[in-house]
């Protein structure tokens, strides 16, 4: 589905407008541990994180934000809840975006002050809704449940609140831990507005199930053309969020900046250890930044036939491997040293 969300500038990253979908994560060290937060943020940046978020509940959070801005080259987002003063101080400290629920502030005057400060500094605001923060009056309209329609309506209400103060530099996030609800809510909002969406499944879970839920939810929206930034929320090392996000973008055909490995599930025809070999190939190509597809197949039936869409591949035989490119058989090699052969071929492409 072809769909373009409008542009929003977050520090040195532009989202929407056909720009690449940006990968985001959030720091989880204690606020007082400035060195630990900086180290975590740098690890995220090294892994491919393009926008990082940090909670700013108090003055210590503002101090951390300032330190991060001095240490990183990627944009830093201030996560604000309830205290408008922290939003104002974060803008002054150089935050590249403010994450805010205007409904959590105690008065329209406070919302206006934040909107005015962000406008003057050229800082966008991310607003939105999740299944645990829908306003009571909106919930009442939808049977007391955080339905997809309730989430979309709640997010639009946040946008309208800022528009009353002539603020349009907005990103919207609509999240739920129930994947079908999240997907439907984001689609409902997208049907009403071209505001760029930050997408993700909130409270997705641990590494295994969280990745499955995120791949289904985020992937569904990306294939619809919805989503300008994303976060894979995992109860795990946040670096794993970046790896998962890159894999989802690769699977959706939105990032071709590294090697993709495809491999067969094996069957009774297989006479080689494809399971071990596929893992070794994936590790071997992890540092190769080329838009190539490598196939690792267990037999000649799956090899040249099913692997012909790959740029290069190997298919197992009786104690040997067949090397092929674009479905054309090239040469047979012994099992020992096949990784080195494959590596040399990839580096020459």
Q: What is the pLDDT along the chain (349 residues), one digit of tens a residue?
A: 567 899 999 999 999 999 999 999 999 999 999 999 999 999 999 999 999 999 999 999 999 999 999 999 999 999 998 899 999 999 999 999 999 988 788 799 999 999 999 999 999 999 988 877 787 888 888 988 889 999 999 999 999 999 999 999 999 999 999 999 999 999 999 999 999 999 999 999 999 999 999 999 999 999 999 999 999 999 999 999 999 999 999 999 999 888 999 888 877 677 778 888 899 999 999 889 999 999 998 876 666 677 778 899 998 877 788 899 988 889 998 888 889 999 999 999 8
> What is the reported pLDDT for 103?
78
The residue among 321, 330, 322 whose CA lies nearest residue 348 is: 330
> What is the reported pLDDT for 178?
94
> What CA–CA distances, in Å, run from 22 to 9, 37, 112, 300?
12, 21, 28, 39
Superfamily of segment(s) 260-348:
Sulfite Reductase Hemoprotein, domain 1 (3.30.413.10)
State how beta strands 125-130 and 170-175 pair: parallel
> What is the reported pLDDT for 301?
67
Residue 44 burial by Cβ neighbours in a 10 Å radius (0-12, 13-18, 19+): buried
Ranges of H-type helices in 145-253? 148-163, 179-190, 207-223, 238-251
> What is the reported pLDDT for 308?
76
> What is the reported pLDDT for 318?
78
Instruction: Give CA–CA dist 287/348, Å, rounded.
Output: 15
* List of E strands, 38-188: 51-55, 76-79, 97-99, 125-130, 170-175
State how beta strands 260-263 and 229-230 pair: unpaired
Instruction: Give CA–CA dist 227/233, Å, rounded.
Output: 15
Quick one: DSSP state of residue 102?
G
First to last CA, the chain: 32
> What is the reported pLDDT for 153?
94
Cα-flanking dihedrals φ and ψ of residue 191, to 5°? -70, -20
> What CA–CA distances, in Å, run from 79 to 92, 202, 294, 325?
14, 15, 41, 49
> What is the reported pLDDT for 147?
94
In the chain, where the domains are located: 8-251, 260-348
> What is the reported pLDDT for 220?
98
- Classify 8-251 by CATH class: alpha beta
Instruction: Give CA–CA dist 190/209, Å, rounded.
Output: 27
Q: At what angle do helices 108-121 and 84-92 cross, to 10 degrees?
A: 10
- The predicted-structure confidence for 35-84, as pLDDT tens digits, reads as follows 999 999 999 999 999 999 999 999 999 999 999 999 999 999 999 988 99
> What is the reported pLDDT for 280?
92
Tokens of 235: 């109860």
Three-state helix/strand/coil letters over 246-301: HHHHHHCCCCCCCCEEEECCCCCCCCCCHHHHHHHHHHHHHHCCCCCEEEEECCHH
Residue burial 161-193, b: 16+ Cβ < 10 Å; e: rest: bbeebebebbbbbbbbbbbebbbbbbbbbbeeb
The residue among 259, 274, 346 whose CA lies nearest residue 315 is: 274
CB atoms under 10 Å from CB of 257, counted, come to: 12
Tokens of 232: 């894979």
Residue 70 burial by Cβ neighbours in a 10 Å radius (0-12, 13-18, 19+): exposed
> What is the reported pLDDT for 136?
80
């Amino acid at each position: 589905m072809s769909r373009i969300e409008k542009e929003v500038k977050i520090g040195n990253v532009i989202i929407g407008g056909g720009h690449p979908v940006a990968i985001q994560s959030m720091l989880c060290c204690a606020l007082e541990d400035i060195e630990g937060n900086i180290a975590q943020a740098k690890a995220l940046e090294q892994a491919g994180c393009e926008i990082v978020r940090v909670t700013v509940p108090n003055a210590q959070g503002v101090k951390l934000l300032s330190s991060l801005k001095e240490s990183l080259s990627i944009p830093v987002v201030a996560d604000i809840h309830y205290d408008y003063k922290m939003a104002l101080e974060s803008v002054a400290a150089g935050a590249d975006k403010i994450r805010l629920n205007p409904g959590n502030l105690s008065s329209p005057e406070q919302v206006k002050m934040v909107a005015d400060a962000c406008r003057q500094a050229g800082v966008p605001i991310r607003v939105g809704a999740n299944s645990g923060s829908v306003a009571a009056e909106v919930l009442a309209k939808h049977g007391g449940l955080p339905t997809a329609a309730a989430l979309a309506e709640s997010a639009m209400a946040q946008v309208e609140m800022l528009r009353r103060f002539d603020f349009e530099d907005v990103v919207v996030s609509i999240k739920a831990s129930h994947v079908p609800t999240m997907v439907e809510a984001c689609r409902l909002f997208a049907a009403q507005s071209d505001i760029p969406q930050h997408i993700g499944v909130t409270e997705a879970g641990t590494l295994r199930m969280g990745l499955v839920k995120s791949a289904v939810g985020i992937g569904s929206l990306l294939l619809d053309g919805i989503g300008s930034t994303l976060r894979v929320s995992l109860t795990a090392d946040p670096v794993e969020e970046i790896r998962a996000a890159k894999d989802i973008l690769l699977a959706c055909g939105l990032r071709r900046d590294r090697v993709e490995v495809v491999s067969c599930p094996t069957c009774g025809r297989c006479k080689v250890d494809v399971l071990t070999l596929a893992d070794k190939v994936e590790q071997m190509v992890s540092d190769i930044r080329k838009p190539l597809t490598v196939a690792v197949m267990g037999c000649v039936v799956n090899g040249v036939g099913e692997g012909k869409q790959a740029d290069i591949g190997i298919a197992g035989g009786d104690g040997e491997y067949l090397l092929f490119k674009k479905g054309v058989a090239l040469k047979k090699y012994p099992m020992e040293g096949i990784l080195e052969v494959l590596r040399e071929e990839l580096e020459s492409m």
